[in-house]
Chains A and B, each alone.
Chain A
Amino acid sequence: MSGTSLRGKTAIVGIGGAGWGEAPGRSAMELLGEASLAAIADAGLELKDIDGLCAATSTHAFPTLSVAEYLGIKPSFFEGTNVGGSSFEMHLLQAAMALEAGICNAVLVCYGSNQRTAGGKLVSMSEPQWHESPYKPRHPITAYALAAQRHMHEFGTTREMLADIAVSARQWANMNPAAFERGPLTREDVLNARMVSDPLTTRDCCLVTDGGAACVMVRADRAKSLKQKPAYVLGVGGAHSHRSIAQMADLTRTVAAESGPRAFAMAGLKPSDCDLVMLYDAFTITTLLFLEDLGFCPKGEGGRFVQDGTIAPGGKLAVNTSGGGLSCVHPGMYGLFLIVEAVMQIRGQAGERQLDTCDVAICHGNGGTLSSQVTALLGSGATL
């Protein structure tokens, strides 16, 4: 029951982005629209070819209705599951099922946000939890800070180890012309930055940027005849654990430990098969937790694993080669931006930061406050 019949049956054939960083004067829908049209053109398709639509945003109650109207499409399949930043990895699974079932022929997955220029704060439709609100948590950072504190307590993880994650991300970003934050960043810079919520400083936190992203999926047979080298969807798995951080059973163990094995089982792969590891880095602690929970290092060892450039350019494991949410782009819900980078690497279009070999990429989306975990495995034609 691991869904292996979906392995390699669909592929991402188009990717697009718009307004990464700052896009003054542009609305979330405008950025989403520009990214979507770029992805459709990248695939060599036209808007009229799109008959499936997946969308989730931080600002639209009915995202598929808003997007379909804005673009002027009439999808026969539409999917608006909103599990925060992990929505778009789940959309890949929904799109793969709909395509394979013949309900539609070309699915657009899209996102846009102008949260940086619209106010500079994370925009969220997330409702407060009544049993938390008197204490004024500043989610998401409060929840992630609580998880980081617990990880430090249980496993001896240090702030320096967390800082090395931000430093590694910046080193990748310095090779990505699309990254918003570039330039030198040292461990000391991270440690000495303003403390926001113990133990996390501003440099342990993702950026707040604008940006749109989109991708287009079709069945594998059609993918071969399109413009770009296909990135096949090999496996996707999701898991939920809680809504309120107070209800998370163990703050050092996310259900990426469940979504990962589901995705790997569908794909018939294991962590050591991954050439590229794209992990949702809302905060430095999330990279660390997902390295552990997805099986790239033992539980509790994430801090020691990331020391000394293991995940930096030239290190043993290529993690977040775009620069991630920490240094490249993070417009509120970042999950689709993981996918865009993975597809670029699989195609060999990543420029200076291009990996020598990138046949298998893992994209791990995180939503809520470590609440929803969705893992997607993408591969080149060599993996079929």
Chain B
Amino acid sequence: MHPMATPGPGPEAQYRAFLQEGRFMIQRSASSGKHVFYPRVAAPVTGAADLEWVEASGLGTVYSITVNRSRAGNYNIALVELDEGPRLMTRIEGVETAAIGTRVKGRIADIDGELAMVFDVVAGGGAS
């Protein structure tokens, strides 16, 4: 056994570096073809260490959404299912809320100094 550090940054740091370059990258397992998000060192369930980075389409559908309400203001928190399959937590920008099933497209935003994916409603992309 040689438990030496694998050279270079891990998947989380690589993901953040891609965002800095303006790219929304997710992982895909070469053996199963399944996409993975959030980034990991191996594919969940199979454990296959054959994850490769691929550019996500950025397109997805609102799986669920809530509006957090407080004296400080209201903002939504959504789960978006990417067309590639994985789900992520995010925010739907420009609307108070959106119906489940609404088509959305992602973009990189600066949230309090941190780059993260947010989503906009696709024109004509109301819930089906």
Residues of A whose CB lies within 8 Å of any CB of B are 130-132, 134-138, 142, 145-147, 149-150, 153, 194-199, 244-247, 251
Q: Which of A146, A149, A199 has the most CB of B within 10 A?
A: A149
Is B6 close to A, CB under 8 A? Answer: no
| B77 & A142 in contact (Cβ 8 Å cutoff) | yes
Which one of B27-35, B50-58, B84-92 contacts A?
B84-92
Q: Is the CB of A246 within 8 A of B100?
A: no
| Residue pair A197, B68 in contact (C-beta under 8 Å) | yes
Across the interface, do B89 and A244 meet the contact criterion of CB distance under 8 Å? yes
The residue among A130, A142, A198, A251 with the most chain B CB atoms within 10 A of its own CB is: A198
Q: How far is the CA of A125 from the CA of B87 in the complex (A)?
A: 25
Minimal Cβ-Cβ distance residue in B for A200: B66
Also in contact, A149 and B69, with CB within 8 A (given A134-B112, A134-B116, A135-B91)? no
Q: Given A134-B116, A153-B100, A197–B69 Cβ distance below 8 Å?
A: yes
Given contacts A149-B100, A244-B89, A245-B89, contact A134 B68 (CB under 8 A): no
Other than A131-B89, A135-B111, A137-B77, give 10 A-B pairs with Cβ distance below 8 A. Answer: A131-B37, A134-B116, A135-B91, A135-B116, A142-B77, A196-B70, A197-B66, A198-B97, A246-B89, A247-B87
Chain A CB within 10 Å — which of B37, B69, B91 has the most?
A: B69
Contact with A along B104-124 (1 / 0, CB 8 A): 000000011010100000000
B67 part of interface (Cβ distance < 8 Å): yes
Task: Give A153 to B116 CA distance when docked, in angstroms.
Answer: 27
Contacts of A137 in B (CB 8 A): 68, 77, 89
When the two chains form their complex, are residues B79 and A130 in contact, meaning their CB atoms are under 8 A apart? no
Q: How far is the CB of B93 from chain A (nearest CB, A)?
A: 11
For the complex, give the distance between the alpha carbons of A146 and B97 in Å.
12
**Which bracket fits the contact residues of B?**
20 to 34
A-B CB contact pairs (8 Å), 27 listed: A131-B38, A131-B88, A131-B89, A134-B112, A135-B77, A135-B90, A136-B77, A138-B68, A142-B66, A146-B64, A146-B77, A146-B79, A147-B64, A149-B64, A149-B65, A150-B100, A194-B69, A195-B69, A197-B67, A197-B68, A198-B66, A198-B67, A198-B69, A199-B66, A245-B89, A246-B79, A251-B64
Binding site for A on B (CB under 8 A): 12, 37-38, 63-70, 75, 77, 79, 87-91, 97, 100-101, 111-112, 114, 116
- Measured in the bound complex, the distance between the Cα atoms of B98 and A153 in whole Å is 13
| A132-B89, A135-B91, A246-B89 known; A142-B64 Cβ under 8 A | no
Give B9 Cβ to nearest chain A Cβ, in Å: 14
**B-chain residues with CB within 8 Å of residue A134 when the two chains form the complex:** 111-112, 114, 116
**Pair A196/B69 contact, Cβ less than 8 Å:** yes
Among A132, A137, A246, chain B packs the most CB atoms within 10 A around the CB of A246
- Is A130 within 8 A of B68, CB to CB? no
Checking A150, A194, A196, A247 against B64 with a beta-carbon cut-off of 8 angstroms, the contacting residue is: A150
Q: Which residues of chain A are near B37, meaning CB under 8 Å? A: 131
Q: Which of A142, A245, A247 has the most CB of B within 10 A?
A: A247
Give the distance in Å from the alpha carbon of A135 to the alpha carbon of B79 in the complex.
11
Closest chain B residue to A149 by CB distance?
B64
